[in-house]
Structure 1
């Protein structure tokens, strides 16, 4: 059985706001086909005065991710993901709409960079199965863990054997995290964000795996999360 036919066994889905329409936002299956901007402008009465726009480079992007993790508590069994999602929303609402879009673009570029068979194999072993939608949520979680974890995993998927079960890590699927920039943009402007025009690969990079060669491809992960 190949990865795309697998059933996702672990998922997030706990923190989407009431009334949130998931279909309006980006997904890899639709190449993030966002709706065109519509609706009247929203005026943020009482919002603090914003500074001029600063460039949202990759360093600033990762700094915001790390700041969103400021409330992470390894002693907390549940609640770290919700706390991080809300903190990221708070941080993004302090930015200009253009900066939020820049942040969104950096996030989606990282999602594309992690679209690799090795990381899909890691997700499959760690969670006991991982569908294509689940793999998007896994990559969202990977970004939420910060630059060090993300870049180590992109370089070597087996590095996640020391991360996925670390204290305070609730789940390896964080669907809600990837939606925060779009939600913040709409909350700030009253409009849906413009379509993302960056890289959106259709197929994962790297060498495809099958269930039969997972033990050989990922011996460290297999030893910890061996199947069957």
Structure 2
């Protein structure tokens, strides 16, 4: 499991679900059943890293202005954003004003947050959080996003340095 596989899962499940978010969650879960427990944990850590990357203040303000979200709703929105795939994720995280180009219907996907836990627990036969160290997993060290979310006001970086890798 790595970032490429993670994003391929999101891309394939989005295509196969034809925009049905609940169906996409079921498909992601089905994909994860094919992976080992260690790979499922890495999937979760990658997912966690992208949720953190999508936690910027500018994005939260943009979604708040467009949709009036609460803190919980913003968490569910981040799951939806990840489910849209890498291209949309990158565009929106880099420039939150792009979000308005992608909003269609429901843009919350709380259920995706639980998929790695559910599959892991079902395969293992016990609760993920009962396993020492599983409740405090570290985010995966994602690559290719290093300069994606720098704030010009705080980081006086040149436009060239702000480009995606």
Query: TM-score normalised to the size of structure 1?
Result: 0.57
Q: Is residue 153 from structure 1 mapped to residue 87 from structure 2 by the alignment?
A: no
Shift of 1:145: 0.5
Shift of 1:131: 1.2
> Which runs of 5 or more structure 2 residues have no equivalent in the other structure?
129-133, 140-149, 153-165
The aligned runs of 1:112-131 (5 Å cut-off) are: 112-127=52-67, 129-131=68-70
CA–CA separation in structure 1 for the residues paired with 2:116 and 2:2? 16
- Quick check: which one's helix share is greater? 2
> Which runs of 5 or more structure 1 residues have no equivalent in the other structure?
1-55, 75-79, 200-204, 208-228
The aligned runs of 1:64-213 (5 Å cut-off) are: 64-73=9-18, 80-127=20-67, 129-165=68-104, 170-193=105-128, 194-199=134-139
Single out whichever of 103-112 and 189-198 deviates more from structure 2. Answer: 189-198
Considering only aligned residues, what root-mean-square deviation do their CA atoms show, in Å?
A: 1.8
Asked if the contact 1:142–1:150 (Cα under 8 Å) also holds between the matched residues in 2, the reply is yes
Aligned residues: 137
CA–CA separation in structure 2 for the residues paired with 1:177 and 1:140? 6
Query: TM-score normalised to the size of structure 2?
Result: 0.77
Secondary structure of the residue aligned to 2:17 is: coil
Query: Which structure has the bigger radius of gyration?
Result: 1
